[in-house]
Copies of this chain bind each other. A is one copy, B any other.
Amino acid sequence: MPEMIYADAVREGLAEEMRRDKLVWALGEDLSTAHTSTSANQYKDLIEEFGPRRIVNAPISESTIMGAGVGAAVAGTRPIADLRSIDFAMCAIDELVNQAAKIRYMFGGQARVPLVARMAIGTRRGAAAQHSQSYESWFVHIPGLIVVTPSTPADGKGLLKSAIRCDDPVVFMEHKELWGAKGEVSADPEHLVPLGKARIARVGKDLTIVAWSRMVVLACKAAEELATAGIDAEVIDLRTLWPWDQEAVFASVRKTRRLLVPQEAVLAGGFAGEVAATVAEALGDVLKTSVRRLGAPRMPVPYAPPLEDEYRITDRQIVATARSMCR
C-alpha cells in the first residue's frame, strides 16, 4: 500500500467519491486556491479536475456554507460543507444543529440530509484561543448527527468516503496537527472504513486506553513506554464518536479491567466523560480500579509556548496516570 500524508489521503478520498458520483461536491472558503497558500492541501488541484460548480469557492459566509449545504443535501445532492475549522464552524452551529440534524426526523422521514460537515479540530502550535478548539463532544449530544474523528491517513480517507456515502449528516473532524502525518493508505477506491467501528491500535491486557483523533498517536507512544515498564496497554482508536463502539470498548475493559480515557479537549464536559460514565455504569463491578480521564484544564488555549504546553495533554501524562492505575 502506498504511503502518503493525511492531507493527501483525504483529498484522494474526496476525489474518488467525486469521480464515482457526480452529485458529490464541496463548498467552503478558499477551496480552489488554497493550495498555493499555507493551508492543508485538502483540495489541491481538485478544481482543475471538477470545475468551479463542484469545488465551490464560497464567500466568507459560514452560516450559508452550512445552510446551503443542508438545502442542497435535502434537494438530492451530496455536499461536503467545509467550515475549515471548528472555530469558524461556531458561526454555523444553528444550521447544523437546528436544521441538518433535525430535518429527517421532524419531517417524519420525508427527507434525508446526506451532508458532510467538515471542520478540523485540535491545538496547533501558537494558534491560540480562537484557532485551537476541540468540541467533538458537542455533536455527540446532538441527535441526528454522526461524529467522525480519524487519527490516521488511512482512516481519514476511508472514513471520509463512508461519510460521503452516508445518507445522514456526518460531522467530519480532521486534526490540524495530523495533516502532515504519514501512513499507508489503500489505493482501492472501494475500500471504505465503516462508521461506528473502533480499531484496536495496540493489543494489550493490563489496561484499556480509549482515544480518538491525535490522542491515539500519543496513546500509542505512551503504550510503548508502558511496555518497557512491564505494563501491557490496549489502545482503542474509537474513530467514530457517535455511534461509538461500545462493544469493542466493553470487550477490552472486561479483559483489562482498567480504563483510561485521555482527550485533547477540555476535560469538563468532554467526550471522555461519556465513555468513562458509560463504562462505570455498565462495568462498575468488573473494574479493578476506578475509571480515569485525562483532559485539558478548563482554560482557553493560551498563545505562548510554555503556556500552551500547560494546556496540552502529553504522552508522559498518559504514562504516569496508567502507571498509577496499575500499581
Contacts and interface: CB of A to CB of B under 8 A. Distances in A.
A131 B235 CA distance: 41
B274 A281 contact: no
A266 B130 contact: no
B271 A280 contact: no
A93 interface: yes
A78 to B, nearest CB: 22
Interface stretch (A98-106, A160-168, A200-208, A211-219): A98-106
A300 interface: yes
Contact of A284 (B87, B90, B265, B287): B287
Contact of A280 (B139, B265, B269, B290): B290
A250 B61 CA distance: 46
Interface string A276-312: 1110111111010111110001111011000000000
Interface in A245-293: 265-266, 268-274, 276-278, 280-285, 287, 289-293
Contacts of A227: none
Given A94-B90, A138-B138, A292-B281, A105 B273 contact: no
Interface stretch (A1-9, A24-32, A140-148, A176-184): A140-148
Contacts of A293: 277, 281
A95 B199 CA distance: 37
B90 A98 contact: yes
Given A90-B97, A280-B280, A141 B266 contact: yes
Interface string A115-136: 0000000000000111001010
Contacts of A172: none
A274 B293 CA distance: 11
A91 interface: yes
B285 A281 contact: no
Nearest to A297: B143
Interface in A40-72: none
A106 B129 contact: yes
Given A280-B290, A291-B284, A141 B138 contact: yes
Q: Which of A141, A142, A268 has the most CB of B within 10 A?
A: A141
Contacts of A281: 276, 290-293
Contacts of A271: 269
A102 B90 contact: no
A300 B101 contact: yes
B284 A274 contact: no
A137 interface: yes
26 contacts: A90-B97, A105-B300, A106-B128, A106-B300, A106-B302, A106-B303, A137-B141, A138-B138, A138-B269, A141-B265, A268-B274, A269-B271, A269-B274, A273-B273, A273-B276, A273-B277, A276-B280, A276-B281, A277-B277, A277-B291, A280-B291, A281-B291, A284-B287, A284-B289, A284-B291, A285-B290
